[in-house]
Amino acid sequence: MDKSKNQKVKFIIGLTLVGIIFLMMIAGIFCTPYDPLAMDMSAKFAGVSFKHIMGCDNFGRDIFSRVLVGVRETMFVSATVVFIGTFVGIIIGTVTGYFGGWVDEILMRINDAVLAFPSVLLALLVIGVLGGGTHSLIIALGIAFVPSFARIVRGEVLRIRNLDYIQCVRLYGASHLRIIVVHILPNLRTVLLSSVLIGFNNAVLAEAGMNYLGMGTQPPNPSLGLMLSEAQSVIFTNPWNAIFPGLVIVMMILGFSLLSDAMENKS
């Protein structure tokens, strides 16, 4: 009884936070109170006020507007990264899990090799080859995210393919493609749902981290990680420059974690 109430609270808090983030994203797409790139030297390091509710940075740019656009950017990058990771992961995972043999052996060893690299290092490597910018960031993080999804999918496919109902369908004479697409893939959804949410969280963090290192979005365009790194030199004199972007990242992570937690325990 107590536990289900706990879940409900988690779900409501998570949903509220995610809702706020989505509102910010939509605002970031359509309208921001100020132009996030417009500099106003008279408002340099302006504090929190009704005019600038999150204050201004070292060029007098409105932090609230920049945060809105940054949220949009982060959501876009994370969603694309998770999509790439899941999509490629499903393909690799089903092929290796279903067919086994040397295909499995080769692909999974490559997978292990990729997994053995720290993902930040791997992403740095890819960006080093492709050059900076949002697109290479997406590709880099996408590659770094494939192996974990591939493993999860492979394990689940291995489990499902030995169940009697798959044997039954094989006996009916269905082709491999039909067995995989019609009979196995739909059964992956419960496992995928939670790993996608967790993966999304990791993607948000990775994106912020890469931007903090200056590997993704190029200035003057705003992104949450980049704002943090720009704010670190003035963190003691003008802490709001760092606090607000940081707070938004925390809200994102917390919101999605609580949501995935609540959903996982529900099902």
Partner 1 sequence: MSMLKVEDLCIKVHDKKTTDTLVYDVDLEMEKGDILGIVGESGSGKTMTALAIAGLLSRHDMEKSGHITFEGINLLEVERKVLRKIQGNEISMVFQEPLNSLNPLKKVGWQVEESLRVHTVMDKAEMKERAIQALRDVELDNPEAVYNSYPHELSGGMRQRAMIAAAMIIQPRLLIADEPTTALDVTIQAEIVELLKRINKERGTAILFISHDLSLVNSLCERVLVMQNGLVVESGNCEEIFRNPRQEYTKKLINAIPKNPFFKEA
Closer of 192 and 249 to partner 1 (Cβ): 192
Binding mask 142-181 for partner 1 (x = CB under 8 A): ---------------------xxx-xxxxxxxxx--x---
- Measured CA distances, 76 to 61, 62, 69, 111, 253 (Å): 23, 22, 11, 26, 15
Closer of 2 and 164 to partner 1 (Cβ): 164
Alpha helices in the chain (DSSP H): 2-30, 63-99, 101-116, 119-130, 134-161, 164-172, 176-178, 189-212, 224-231, 240-266
Tell me the C-alpha distance between 140 and 158, whole Å. 28
State the number of binding residues for partner 1 (CB under 8 A).
18
Which 191-230 residues touch partner 1, going by CB under 8 A? none
Which 61-120 residues touch partner 1, going by CB under 8 A? 100-101
Does 131 bind partner 1 (CB under 8 A)? Our answer is no
- Min dist CB 2 to partner 1, Å, is 28
- Min dist CB 169 to partner 1, Å, is 6
CA 127, 129, 132, 138 dihedral sign is negative
- Min dist CB 267 to partner 1, Å, is 13
Packing angle, helices 189-212 and 240-266, rounded to 10: 170
- Min dist CB 90 to partner 1, Å, is 17
- Min dist CB 175 to partner 1, Å, is 7
Instruction: Give the residues across from 62 on adjacent strands.
Output: 56
Tell me the C-alpha distance between 229 and 246, whole Å. 11
Binding site for partner 1 (CB under 8 A): 100-101, 163-165, 167-175, 178, 183, 186-187
